[in-house]
Structure 1
Amino acid sequence: MRHPVNTPAWHESSLKFIAGFCLLAGLMLLSGCQKNPERLLNKGKEFFAPPSEDPATVATDWYKLQLRMILQSHPAKPNFLIFHLFAYSGISLYEACRFENHSLKSLQGDLNQMPSMPEPDNYKQYSWIITANAAMATITRDLFPGLTPGNNVSIDSLEKLYNDKITAIAGAGVVSQSQAFGDSIASAIFGWSKSDLSNHASDPYTPPVFPGAWVPTPLAFAPAVTPYAGNCRPFLQIFSEGTTPPPPFPYSEDPNSDFYKMVNNDYVISKTRTADQTNIALFWNDVGAGIGYTPMGHNISILTQVLDNSNSSLATAGIAYAKAGIAIWDATVVCWRSKYKYNQLRPVSYIRHVIDSTWLPLISTPAHPEYPAAHAFLTTAFMEAITSVFGNNYSFTDHTYDFRGFAPRSYASFEDAALEAGESRLYGGIHYQPSIDTGHEFGALVGKAVGAIGQ
């Protein structure tokens, strides 16, 4: 159920945030989802394409491999590092395959501090399938956290599969120079990623102490994760500063206070939620280690299904994955900057202290401050961004967790999926309703900013 969201008064530091958003509408970086003929080889200005090839397949195959590797990781990979992987993978893919459509331009000069990208030699032949293949193989090796020997075998095997396939069509020479070109793109992007301050996101941190401040939560009582993620470089300059407004209610343990009523709503729902609400909470739980793909992995799974089911072109896949990755990362930066500015405690901490000392939420509480709700924020940004590619009211069915025995869930639009993902955190007992509403509100701003690229 969608709850009404009131437009909040902007926090002072957010004024530049919205002003920059308004300016962004004029940027022309990517084209929309255009149905141009797929092109596998380039020689000067001549193009050739085997008619049976599905150019998006190489892109979706690489993301499916990344998802499998995430799912099979024990222990689960940190969410932040997965967000980082998806962010730069999407840009690598786009830069490697954008030459299929002459209207697509490099993102260099429009993304924050992005270096110039390698350009193809117009007197050589290229397979854009292979440039994409090589770029995805290289960036996955560079950024997937903690690669195992089995992971490396899987990466090598998928890369070889496409190299062999296109060698039979275009010859070894074309594949070799296409592979070198794709490698050079991914290497340049990996080098750029090293300066985004993500390596300092988990620097030592001492949580502030004040009434209502976040504290480690049961059962793990883990320390705060990625407290400095808000200092990382966003892709869009307009998100370099600014936060959401503060939480709406001052801390209070008075049963008549707005704060108490807000938290008690979580407690009451935990005692009265329906079977469908429980299923929603579990469907969007998305923990790793054989159980889920992480929150943004779930979203990438949805996008991958949409690309496969719509028989999209490689160029469209490049646009969609790039926008998705940019939205994930910039939403993370703004969300975490806000979380660690306000440091609001989680429902489990308040409820066990004030209402019911034995209470636990349905799903595990993440080790970071409560406000704003991250799944609502990031998933809304993601879904808004890909709406710019596929359009409003694009209906789809999500089969991400068929393998876990969950029934597929259908949505009338990407926005509807984002709203449900946000509400899942209320049903799971780890977020308050105002935090979810703020996540949707400001996630939509980030997603619309990313979606406006090329419109």
Structure 2
Amino acid sequence: MKRLIMGLCVVLGLYACRQSDEYKTYLHNPELFSQTVHELNTVVMGNNFPPMVAARNYVYAAVAAYEVMAFAHPDEYQSLVGQVKGLTKVSFPSADPKADIELAALLAYMKVGESVTFPEGSLQTYKDSILQLARNKGLPGDVEKASQLLADSVSASIIRWSKGDNYLQTRGAEKYTVKDEPGRWVPTPPLYGSAAEPHWMEIRTMVLDSASIFAPPPPPDYNITDKNSKYYQEVMLIKNAVDSLTDEQKHIAEFWDDNPFKMNVTGHVMYGSKKFSPSGHWMSVIGIAAKQAKYSYAETVYAFAKTSIALFDSFIQCWYVKYKYNTVRPETVINKYFDPNWRPYLQTPAFPEYTCGHSTISSAAAE
């Protein structure tokens, strides 16, 4: 009988260990973090945030997760305190060895992601499903509690920091004034939307000294009457290129078509369709790249944080240039001077032409 009892104890002990390892295997999988980023991506898309606002959603959430990992691995990752503008302190609770760092990073990402994305509680169902599955796999209550405490402490610091970036102040800023001046941007068909975020250059940067630190050369002088002018030649280059696109070029264009809200027109019927913004597209790219590179959980979090910061700052710099020059879109010029029915292959977004937003932020992300 004694041997039987001892045998049962051994079996139960092994089962308990297996259960413990099972929840860790689930929560420590870096693909779970990438999946959570994708979930926030879906919420952002559903709420039709413009691309630069979407970048703000991602960056604060990613920094929160990164700060948890830096707290746990100070020899490998340095806190961003003092490295990014305005972040002077991140508070942590008393060290508790029960806290699961990967779970805490995930919870911090979701909590901050919700705080800068409406509606409130948009990730709650997803969060509940993760925790319930982890509990089913043996997540102890004290580990969950300690992890949540760590996540909440870090999240509170990041949320407080985020509120100082001038975002709320720009919500009530003066609207863009549409003027009928040669070469100046005006709304384009079919939506004729208002200028997107004309004050985004006033948002606090993360690492750039200012929005104007990198000054590209000005666009060519507006001159559509002289066929020898650089401006005329560039407009015709665009028109001819669109008119002769190959199937491969169309496929490439469609892959990078990240217009978060496209207005579709069929006869007298108009309806909108949504898709990931350029920021969201790059979040997906990072998830795929991290998986292919077999990144650890911490490395995956680092990749998302670094890329999110690059996207965030590059949007601010790009928008400074866009609204400095207020360059008219080629579609407007071609419709007025060459063909009133001409349309680009992809729908023109609602902001000035120069410099190219997608090229700017994609170059930053790819670095």
TM-score by length of 2: 0.83
- Gaps of at least 5 residues in structure 1 are 1-47, 385-455
Q: Which residue of 1 aligns with 2:40?
A: 66
Equivalent residue letter for 1:230 = M
Distance 1:154 1:207, change over 3 A: same
Cα displacement string for residues 55-84 of structure 1 (whole angstroms, at most 9, x for unaligned residues): 42332121121123344x2x6333232111
Q: Which residue of 1 aligns with 2:280?
A: 297
The CA distance in 2 between the partners of 1:96 and 1:57, in whole Å, is 18
- 2:65 counterpart of 1:115: no
Q: Secondary structure at the match of 1:126?
A: coil
- 2:115 counterpart of 1:142: yes
The CA distance in 1 between the partners of 2:211 and 2:281, in whole Å, is 27
**Could you tell me which of 182, 196, 208 is aligned with 2:165?**
196
Cα displacement string for residues 368-406 of structure 1 (whole angstroms, at most 9, x for unaligned residues): 11100000000110110xxxxxxxxxxxxxxxxxxxxxx
- 2:361 counterpart of 1:378: yes
Distance 1:224 1:291, change over 3 A: closer
The CA distance in 2 between the partners of 1:266 and 1:213, in whole Å, is 18
- 2:101 counterpart of 1:128: yes
Deviation of 1:122 after TM superposition, in Å, equals 3.5
- 2:79 counterpart of 1:96: no
Task: State how many pairs are aligned.
Answer: 331
- 2:176 counterpart of 1:206: yes
Distance 1:313 1:120, change over 3 A: farther
Cα displacement string for residues 401-436 of structure 1 (whole angstroms, at most 9, x for unaligned residues): xxxxxxxxxxxxxxxxxxxxxxxxxxxxxxxxxxxx
Structure having the higher Rg = 2
- 2:164 counterpart of 1:186: no
- 2:216 counterpart of 1:245: yes
1:81–1:145 Cα contact (<8 Å) kept: no
- Gaps of at least 5 residues in structure 2 are 1-19, 262-272
**Could you tell me which of 300, 309, 323 is aligned with 1:340?**
323
1:96–1:182 Cα contact (<8 Å) kept: yes
Q: Which residue of 1 aligns with 2:189?
A: 218
Q: Secondary structure at the match of 1:242?
A: coil
Distance 1:160 1:77, change over 3 A: farther
Within a 5 Å distance, the mapping from 1:23-62 to structure 2 comes to 52=25, 54-62=28-36
The CA distance in 1 between the partners of 2:348 and 2:95, in whole Å, is 53
The CA distance in 1 between the partners of 2:202 and 2:141, in whole Å, is 45
Equivalent residue letter for 1:185 = V
- 2:333 counterpart of 1:362: no
- What is the RMSD of the two structures over their aligned residues, measured on CA atoms? 2.4
1:243–1:337 Cα contact (<8 Å) kept: no
Deviation of 1:303 after TM superposition, in Å, equals 0.6
Percent identity among equivalent residues? 26
Q: Which residue of 2 aligns with 1:421?
A: none
The CA distance in 1 between the partners of 2:178 and 2:41, in whole Å, is 36
Q: Which residue of 2 aligns with 1:41?
A: none
Q: Which residue of 2 aligns with 1:388?
A: none
TM-score by length of 1: 0.68
**Could you tell me which of 249, 272, 293 is aligned with 1:310?**
293
Q: Secondary structure at the match of 1:239?
A: coil
2:81–2:90 Cα contact (<8 Å) kept: yes
1:227–1:340 Cα contact (<8 Å) kept: yes
Q: Which residue of 1 aligns with 2:312?
A: 329
Distance 1:115 1:158, change over 3 A: farther
Cα displacement string for residues 112-167 of structure 1 (whole angstroms, at most 9, x for unaligned residues): 010311235335432102211220221122122335x77542343234444x267x
Equivalent residue letter for 2:91 = P
Distance 1:186 1:159, change over 3 A: farther
2:258–2:278 Cα contact (<8 Å) kept: yes
Equivalent residue letter for 2:114 = R
